[in-house]
Amino acid sequence: MYLHHKTQKMENEIKILYAEDNTTAALIYQEILEEAGFTVTIASTGNEAWDLYQNGKWDLILLDMDLPGKDGHELIRLIREQGDQVPIIILSSLNHNHALYEGADDYLVKGCSVDEVKARIDKAIARTRRINTEKEQGLFHLSPSTTFNKNTRQLITCGHKEELKGMEAKILWLFCLRINEIISIVEMCETLWGLYTTDKERAFTRYVCLLNKKLKPDTSIAIKNEFARGYKLVNDIR
């Protein structure tokens, strides 16, 4: 059964999907968030959350990890496999901060202050909007010290400016679109060259090495090899 909110019409309403199997906790946080101006829809199982996710458009997902059916880990994986970077905040009574490495954006323990919950939600949504604006403009602020402009192919790292070559710029742009997300080598090769071969893989890894040398002055950023899974552009600050 879905527990739906009282609809509050807002010109720029922020829609939150909240997956929580504890009805009491769900209703408490729903009331808190709706009083803060958010629009909240609750799912009481992981399967319901997945169904609602697929059939709606959400600005943020608030997620308890220990759900019946699909648990929080599976939901995070499924959502990120869609290429969707909607912010996901874990709200759980247990320590699930390892979910941050699986694609969640933030982690909160149940019982934290109302102000803390609202602040984390506001921060996550603001970050996502900024990233979406960057994508539209082709300008990516990867850290306080590093920016990349897709249109000019200019990479600025710790004050050093360099115009990347065509393939370097395209590879870095693809990583920027999915920062902190693992992308398989096969997917990268097919996107860049239309097919995967071992020669293409070797060429791709050479470009990654070149890019890492250019990113090296900024120690918070690197393209890392996730063994047997692919590569990801890691930014420890974002």
CATH classification of the domain holding 108:
3.40.50.2300
Domain boundaries, position 12: 2-135
Q: Which pTM was predicted?
A: 0.61
Do 127 and 145 belong together in one domain? no
Under the banding of pLDDT at 50, 70 and 90, the label for residue 237 is: low
CATH classification of the domain holding 161:
1.10.10.10
Given a cut of 90, is residue 75 above it in pLDDT? yes
Do 163 and 64 belong together in one domain? no
Do 127 and 149 belong together in one domain? no
Higher pLDDT, 135 or 77: 77
* Structural domains in the chain (count): 2
Higher pLDDT, 6 or 208: 208
Do 126 and 217 belong together in one domain? no
Domain final position from 135, 161, 192: 135
Do 107 and 9 belong together in one domain? yes
Under the banding of pLDDT at 50, 70 and 90, the label for residue 1 is: very low
Do 80 and 151 belong together in one domain? no
Under the banding of pLDDT at 50, 70 and 90, the label for residue 95 is: low
Q: What is the DSSP string of the chain?
A: -EEEPPP---TTPPEEEEE-S-HHHHHHHHHHHHHTT-EEEEESSHHHHHHHHHTS--SEEEE-SS-SSS-HHHHHHHHHHTT----EEEEESS--GGGGGGT--EEEETT--HHHHHHHHHHHHHHHHHHHHHHHHTEEEEETTEEEETTTTEEEETTEEEEPPHHHHHHHHHHHHTTT--B-HHHHHHHHHSS--HHHHHHHHHHHHHHHHHHTTSTTEEEEEETTTEEEEEES--
Distance CA 233, CA 54 (A): 27
Do 202 and 90 belong together in one domain? no
Contacts of 60 (CB under 8 A, 6+ apart): 14, 15, 16, 17, 86, 87, 88, 89, 121, 124, 125
CA dihedral 223, 228, 229, 230 (to 10 degrees): 30
* pLDDT the model gives residue 217: 96
Do 10 and 110 belong together in one domain? yes
Do 164 and 210 belong together in one domain? yes
Lowest mean pLDDT among 96-110, 160-174, 189-203: 96-110
Under the banding of pLDDT at 50, 70 and 90, the label for residue 133 is: confident
Do 113 and 179 belong together in one domain? no
Given a cut of 80, is residue 65 above it in pLDDT? yes
Do 30 and 76 belong together in one domain? yes
* pLDDT the model gives residue 97: 63
Domain final position from 135, 156, 172: 135
Lowest mean pLDDT among 17-21, 110-114, 166-170, 213-217: 110-114
Average pLDDT of every residue of the chain = 88
Domain final position from 135, 153, 181: 135
Tens digit of each residue's pLDDT (9 = 90 or more) over 8-52: 444 468 999 999 999 999 999 999 999 999 999 999 999 999 999
Do 20 and 110 belong together in one domain? yes
